[in-house]
Amino acid sequence: MMKLLENKALGFYFTALAGIVAIISVIYYFIWAQSNNLVNPVILIALVIGIVVDVVLVYYDNDFLIVATTICYSIALFQLLVDSVGSLVDFFQGIVMFGDSTQVGTIFTLSCIILVGALASIIASFMKRVKS
């Protein structure tokens, strides 16, 4: 394992951080969505594809793959926000009509976690991932 990590640069570690955060996001989203009967396969598939691409990036460095990872995490984030518009509107308007305003804290927390993964992936795309 140390031989694998000896020629990696800082961008690689940001990519690894994005993958770890995505794993946490998948677990947190699935537990929350399953308990509220709100599972959206687009969010799960986008996060899982992003994780798989991050694993591929451990062994094969490619600029297009890091962009694909960023796109996957962004799709998951925006789909979560689109699915939660009703709950957010209810929360800010102080009504109960379109969604469940009690879920806004969880939606915000999950959005921030996914955003951290997307930002780590964006930062990694501008950095060297392998020492030359």
The DSSP secondary structure of 82-99, one letter per residue, reads HHTHHHHHHHHHT--SSS
Residue 110 makes CB contacts below 8 A (sequence gap 6+) with 25, 28, 29, 32, 80
Distance CA 109, CA 128 (A): 30
- What pLDDT was estimated at residue 1? 62
Contact (Cβ atoms closer than 8 angstroms) between residue 4 and residue 22 = no
Quick one: tokens of 128? 């060297």
pLDDT class for 10, splitting at 50, 70, 90?
confident
Against a cut of 0.85, is the pTM above it? yes
More confident residue, 68 or 132: 68
Q: Of 8-12, 62-66, 123-127, where does mean pLDDT reach its minimum?
A: 8-12
| Average confidence score pLDDT of the chain | 90
